[in-house]
Structure 1
């Protein structure tokens, strides 16, 4: 089965989507709200964009990770990213 990707992304948006997918605290729901890509579509995009080994490492990391899935996440977590993630330069 082929997962259709909803839109063509700019280089900057593609880079940000991949960055969000790698981030431990950014749930797939936030990616979908921002870019319109569901979890299966993000997986398909990552498979296409990453080298095979990088993709396999990423899948191993995110599979079942509570912070990547809102349904598994503690109700005490109210943000999608670490407070120190976006530091001012």
Structure 2
């Protein structure tokens, strides 16, 4: 599966821009508003180049700068809901 950050950005006018920070690198990708946790996890594995069996944690940064874990569909949905509510330019995710 090709990570979406490799796809032409013009195709992402309605998608959510995700800035992912991992191991000192910053990567930009785009996700659909209705992404599942499994799809989101696969996207993070692809762009961060995690080994298939590597255990990792994903955290998004809320409007107050606090890290919030994304480990369930409910937590991912809340991150996306607040992204929409605050009309943020991007969702920032940290991999660990």
TM category, shorter: 0.3 to 0.5
Structure with greater strand percent = 2
> What is the TM-score normalised by the length of structure 2?
0.31
Structure with greater helix percent = 1
